[in-house]
Amino acid sequence: MQRSSIRQDCPPLFRNILLDRDGTVIEERHYLHDPDQVSLIYGVGAAMANLAQKGCHLFLVSNQSGIGRGFFTSEDVQSCQNRLTQLLHVCGAEFDDALWCPHAPEANCQCRKPRPGMWQTLREKHSLNPAESCMIGDKIDDLRFASACNLFGVLVLTGHGMKEARQNNLPLPQQGEIMLLPQKKCAVAPDLVIAASFILGQISSEKIYLAEAAEFLL
């Protein structure tokens, strides 16, 4: 494992940031459907505001299979999204667009991550360039989604991220560090705060490490 020599005085590495919701932006709640339970992960609001101020566009892409499973309704998800919008507004951040897949896994739809349906919708609607885009989430399926869409992927260790990283033999960065896996076109970060700092070149090169490709399938 070696340190990267990435410059810190460069523009954002990616202009378009796709974000998972549960466990990445907000605290993980099992089948969240109550807007009163929506809570930002510490530091995320400021990190998203920082990204936006530097010219990045923010997009939400979330699997919400609880709708298809009958656990809650589309209206419940929209209520939670409205609450999230309010919390981000206080921090000076907002999504340019927000999409979620309402289907259960057995529906075999094209919009459930890791399939690329939501990216295709955003790409066409907002004229997004995959080379200028990345996906950040707390599940291996978020990295697989990134791979399917030809995006750079970042796994964060919040939410389900720590468990997913360990199960897939991914390197675990310490707080304040980020691990790059160039062969897999992805990285592992402790949280969205560090991922945003990396994208904006605001993390010391001494905290950026190159790691060997992990043995997991994308």
Q: Do residues 195 and 201 touch, judged by C-beta distance below 8 A? A: no
Beta pairing partners, 208: 178
Is 22 a residue of the active site? yes
Quick one: tokens of 210? 């190159």
Do residues 107 and 58 make contact, with C-beta atoms less than 8 angstroms apart? no
87: tokens are: 């919390």
Q: Residues 156, 177: contact at Cβ < 8 Å? A: no
Given 9, 22, 36, 191, the catalytic residue: 22
Known catalytic residue: 20? yes
Phi first, then psi, for residue 137 (nearest 5°) are: -160, 180
**CA–CA separation, 94 vs 87, rounded Å?**
9
Catalytic residue among 9, 20, 34, 191: 20
Q: How far apart are CA 79 and CA 212, in angstroms?
A: 42
- Catalytic residue annotation: 20, 22
